[in-house]
Amino acid sequence: MILENYWKILVSLVVTLALAIASLILARKMKMLAAPEGKLLKVVESTRLDQRTSVFLLEIDGERLVVGTTQAGNSITMMKMASKEQLQ
């Protein structure tokens, strides 16, 4: 009797965890966890070149902008501005 209750609890826990994981995967695929619509500025991608230099691909109202930063953000340099289609 007690063993049957433990099995029911264990099966319920496994099913609940599986549904939660499936929901997260589906939400990411549907981009529900992405930045909210209506924002004018969005960081599309970024990469660190070394300890002091980074490059960011920003999207500003449909235009894309490549920006480089140095020395922990003390200097910012615009490298290229283009439409989405030009950078794909």
| Structure confidence by residue, pLDDT tens digits, 59-80 | 887 788 888 888 766 777 777 7
**What is the distance of C-alpha 57 from the center of its chain?**
13
Q: How far is CA 53 from the centre of its chain?
A: 21
Closest CA to 65 of 48, 45, 37: 45
> pLDDT by residue (tens digit) across 26-46?
877 776 555 566 677 888 889
Which residues does residue 75 pair with via DSSP β-bridges, in sequence order?
70
